[in-house]
Each structure stands twice: as C-alpha cells, then as structure tokens.
Chain A
Amino acid sequence: MTLDQSYVGRVYPPTEPYEVSREKIREFADALNDPNPAYRDAAAAGELGHPDVIAPPTFGIILTLQAGHQVITDPGFGMDYSRVVHGEQRFEHVRPIRAGDVLQVVVAVESVRAAAGNDIVGLRAEVRTVDGAEILRAFSTIVARGTAA
C-alpha cells in the first residue's frame, strides 16, 4: 500500500519525560563492551569537563527509537511494522547526554517516498531537556521492504 503523503510535516506530541541515570548509561556502555571511564566514573568525566558521567554518542537511540514507534505504528499512516528495517541514522549533538538529564523527544515526519518497491520514511527527532535545552537531533531513515508495490 502507499503511505499517506499528508503525514509529511506531521509533528507528534512530546514523549513522556525520561530521566537518564548513571546506571542506565553504564548498562548501555557495558552492552557495547566499551570501557571508557567517561561513561562510568563521574570523577573521570569531570576531568574532561563534564558535570557527571556522559552517555555514548548513540545512546539517544533509546529515546528516539521509542518516539519513532509512534509514527511506525500509527494505524492512519499505514506502515507495515513487520517489514521495517533501519536504512540510515545520523545524530547531531549539541552536548552529550549525561546522568541526571530529564529528556523529552519530539518526532516529526520529514519525508515519505517510494523507491524500488519500498516505502521510505525520513524522521527527525529533537531531544530536549524538560527545561527546553536542546541536546541532540536524530535523523532516521526507515524502510518498509516491498510494501510500495
């Protein structure tokens, strides 16, 4: 089926606030087998000028993936979730995510197109603190394979 082009430009409501803990950052870094002390040791992070432990560059996907699900599973939009794969991902950081941040994500549909039988959707996710400070922007390309016949 063809996706609803009128969704281009649609902006979804902010996600529920997510509080970043030291433990979650360490768990994520452990899952990457990444021993960098900036992810684990507040003193080591402090020596680099950070007020607390910071998160790895791709940590934001925890928040933005969930935010993107609002779009992928929106029945009015019409994506076939079972055929969805990740095409591209890009992060632009204003500053690193760090322990203690309370973050919300606003996701928007940037583009909807079909190519080679696939539906291809571009999403933009803006991650801010609940106080409104911009932390990062994440751009995702989501592909639903073979659904745009």
Chain B
Amino acid sequence: MVGLAAQTSGDLVVAPKEGGQAADIGMIFQEQGLFPWMSVRRNVSFILENNANIEKSVIPETVDDILQKVGLSQYADFYPHQLSGGMKQRVSIARSFANRPDILLMDEPFVFLDFQARLKLQSLLLSLWQVNQKTVVFVTHDIEEAVLLADRVMIMSASPGTIKDIVSINLPRPRDIFALKASREFSEYVNGIMQVLKGELGLPELQ
C-alpha cells in the first residue's frame, strides 16, 4: 500500500484526490523505525521538514504539541537508545500523526511490547484517533487488539493471503479499554472471530 513492495496483480485505489494526486499514506513499522542519531524531537521534526505541505514556521509548535500528547515532553532531547520499547513506539506514532497523512498504515506496531506497554499504547492510539480521526489500517495477529481498536476487522487467511471475512465492530466511541475488555459484547466479537479462524488453523481433532 505504501509502495515498499511491488504489487503482484490487481489495482489498488486509495482515496484519489482531485487532479489524480495520490493520497498521503503514513506508516508505523514494527520496530526500529526511529533514527538513532536524532533526538526524539529531531526524529519528529525531520519528518515534518520533509513534508512540503507543512509550513516550516509551525513545526516547532507541532512537535511540542504532539510530544506532549504522547507524554514524551520530558524526553524530547533523549536519543532512541535511551528509551524503552514502548517510548520508542510512541515517538513513531507521534511522528506519523504529526505528519498528517490521509491514511495511516500500522504494521503490527505493538508486537514487540510487553503487556502493559501494549495496553498503554492502545489507549493512546484510541485517544489520539478521537481528536484526529483518520483512516488507520492496522495489521495485527492479536484478535483482542483488533476488536478494541477497529471499526471493521478484515480476517485474512494465510497463504494465499485473501480476505476471509469482514466483521463490523459496533462498539461505541470513545472507547475505554478496561471497561470494554470486561464487557459481554467484546467477548462475543472476539469469540466470533475465533470461530472464523478456527478452520484456518487446521488443528487436528482431539481424540
């Protein structure tokens, strides 16, 4: 979708703008997408400086604002190697949100985080989305994560990777992760998706 891998077949139509201009797509990688030689602040401002649609004069303000939103104001002058995995991923999220893409692609962004850091970042993503509602395409293997965050879950089969089912998640927003996880609707969605995946796993029948 972001043009990193060549497409094998078919067409990809992504929100064409007027005049045939392609949509801006941001991307958050699994890990290590930050530049180790730039401070936290610089990692964000560098991306913004390379975006022709962003006025140079507003960059410092935008950077301060987004770092505050992700709770990293105090760490603005730290280098990535001084941060925890969760903090690094927050910088990644900060820089892609601040860059104002039309669509944000997140490829298993929380997969290397521990349970608590993952909860924290899921909440952060929900609240950032609440103030800045963009289309986010979020790839994950974690069904609960999918149900917590998404409006629509597309279940994909393993090789060939085709869409097996699409489930709409009709849970109200803004969402509170902890209340949601305890709710009956949440479990029902999770179980429903589990059932779809069950056949996919090809498990042997228990005797």
Do A and B make up one complex?
A: no
Residues of B within 8 A of A (CB): none
